[in-house]
Chain A
Amino acid sequence: MTDLSMPQTQTRSQSATGKIALRWLLYILLGLFALYYLMPLFVMLTTSLKSLEEIRTGSLISLPREVSFDAWKTAWSGACTGIQCEGLRPYFWNSVLIAVPAVAISTLLGALNGYVVAQWRFKGANIIFSLMLFGCFIPFQVVLLPMARLLGMMGIAGTIPGLIFVHVIYGLGFTTLFFRNYYVTIPAELTKAARVDGAGFLRIFWSIFLPLSLPIVVVTVIWQFTQIWNDFLFGVSFSQAGTQPVTVALNNIVNSTTGVKEYNVDMAAAIIAGLPTLLVYVVAGKYFIRGLTAGSVKG
């Protein structure tokens, strides 16, 4: 009896130590990856807090000897983009003026589209949905010229409404996809019950479907906000002086240096430009994961 059980317990304890070792290896590896990915952010933050003098003399990864927010101030309100020297501030507000309405409109329209495609099956619904899905895969570059022409014809070329329009159109494929996939899990009987109760198309959407949609709204808002805020190509193609978004301004700041390159200002400007998307993730990140993995809605 003991003869038999001895080797068994031995192998069990052996495999247990093996498991722990593997676990630690995993943690160390993950930690290394995290460090690797955080490194640029670290360098950006420290560099933005250093003076130009210190950047020139010190090492790239050393902490700042003297913390100074001057670079941030310059980046926000004094850095030159070409001939103007107003910093990122006006462009940051341009981005807000573009992103907020574009996100709101594309999310609302996506919700309506998804609701129709998922719950009000009509002839050709699948074809229309497939076409919208196809829109997700059209490269930005392909639509540049036709879009420029269209904006010109509509008389909104180079304006903020023009950029909002472009982002709404381009985002619809994604927002429709998100909402459609969410609403398809909601039993069709819910719509039927509401119809028998006397509610119409919009009433059912407003009173029954929208209140159910918080997780997917969060997903869509994060997705759309990140896309629109970070967009450069549309921003640079369809804007003019005064309507450029923050990404374009950042590019101009970094590329239009005279004399010494102000790395600290560039870094601060880059962080400012990226801050809103970061904030959105921090605030709503857990809903993002939850929304993406959310299955059916239990009645």
Chain B
Amino acid sequence: MAPILDINNLFKNYGATEILKDINISIEPGDFLVLVGPSGCGKSTLLNCIAGLEPISGGTLSIGGKDMTHVSPKDRDIAMVFQSYALYPTMTVAKNITFGMKVRGVDQATQDAKLKEVASLLQIEPLLNRRPSQLSGGQRQRVAMGRALVRDPKLFLFDEPLSNLDAKLRVEMRTEIKKLHQTLDASIVYVTHDQIEAMTLATKIVVLKGGVVQQIGTPAEIYNNPANLFVADFMGSPAMNLIPAQATKNGSGTEIAIARETGDTLVLKDTRDLSLPKDVILGLRPEDIAEAGFRAGAGVQEAACLVDMVEPAGADTYVVSELGGKQVTARLHAETSAQAGEMLNLAFDMSKVSYFAKETGERLN
């Protein structure tokens, strides 16, 4: 099937400043693409470029197989939900939702039918005659989505739609957006700085930093095989442990030496056939370090470590120890008997390790 959105070599400059550099993204119909990155990485600008609200400085962009590089927003067959909701303050909810159809000259009967359909889908029927100022944050959010849904466009664009909501509501609306995506089978481009939102919603994630695409992949690919140190550090909470280490080839496997604060070295064996330079950064997710005896597998290696801190988090308990001069977090089960200041046998799952080049930060394995 033809890609619903196809971005080729897109550049965006403001004067001499390059905001977006050589962006190439393509998504299939039904994809939920999340653009994620720290603030100022250009993700919102990219979304505005897709919407046609910002002209692009170079490259091409097509939506639904048609070239849209220089087409105005209203002719791109898109709908957009904004961070501030951007509801029209003087119009009622019903008028807000039907404004787009009214502007396009859709007849009244169709408008009414569509409004009814969307209102019942989002359960906002009782609000139709209210003004935006009389709505709560969550209700405004729904109306903003209603305004987008009623258009039935080729592509939905969401610009950090949940970041103005409180934590509980955010999780609720997140679930609802996911449900909507599944029932409508819509194609969505969604911008967020929240990596959990990205992981839970996306079928495909684009990680951006400084206007450059760092990695494109499914949530699992991004999480398990981050392309570089930035992605490894950005995605996942608590963040991936990134430990400086020395690699030495030993037979078919590799010996990984990590300096300890006590002065000795912790040596772990990776049985995979890798060719690594001497200085590497070892990346291991907190859940891949467990209490000894709770993790089994070919790559699991145990070692006693000094526990610096114990952080119970309800479902899990995080244990912090120092390795290679870095704070290393391990995710243990809640009933662990680990005590700060005592030694604890930890199991490192070496089959899950990512290696990064010390100089470039690029992934090595």
Contacts and interface: CB of A to CB of B under 8 A. Distances in A.
Interface in B32-75: 48, 51, 53, 72-74
Contacts of A257: none
B275 interface: no
B86 to A, nearest CB: 4
Interface string A192-222: 1111111110010001100110000000000
A196 B82 CA distance: 11
Contacts of A192: 48, 51, 53, 73, 80, 82, 86
A208 B84 contact: no
Contact of B103 (A197, A297, A298): A197
Interface string A159-178: 00000000000000000000
Contacts, number: 70
A197 B99 contact: yes
Nearest to B99: A197
B89 A198 contact: no
B142 interface: no
Contacts of A207: 88, 99
A190 interface: yes
A211 B133 CA distance: 15
Interface in B140-168: 140, 147, 151
A195 B133 contact: no
B87 interface: yes
Given A197-B74, A197-B103, A299-B140, A189 B82 contact: yes
Given A203-B103, A207-B99, A299-B140, A195 B73 contact: yes
A1 B122 CA distance: 66
B271 interface: no
Q: Which of A192, A199, A299 has the most CB of B within 10 A?
A: A299
Contact of A196 (B51, B88, B89, B140): B51
9 contacts: A192-B51, A192-B86, A196-B53, A196-B73, A196-B78, A197-B74, A199-B74, A199-B103, A207-B99
Interface of A: 187, 189-190, 192-200, 203, 207-208, 211-212, 297-299
Given A193-B147, A196-B53, 15 more contacts: A187-B84, A187-B86, A189-B84, A190-B88, A192-B53, A194-B99, A196-B73, A196-B79, A197-B100, A198-B104, A199-B100, A203-B103, A208-B90, A297-B89, A299-B140
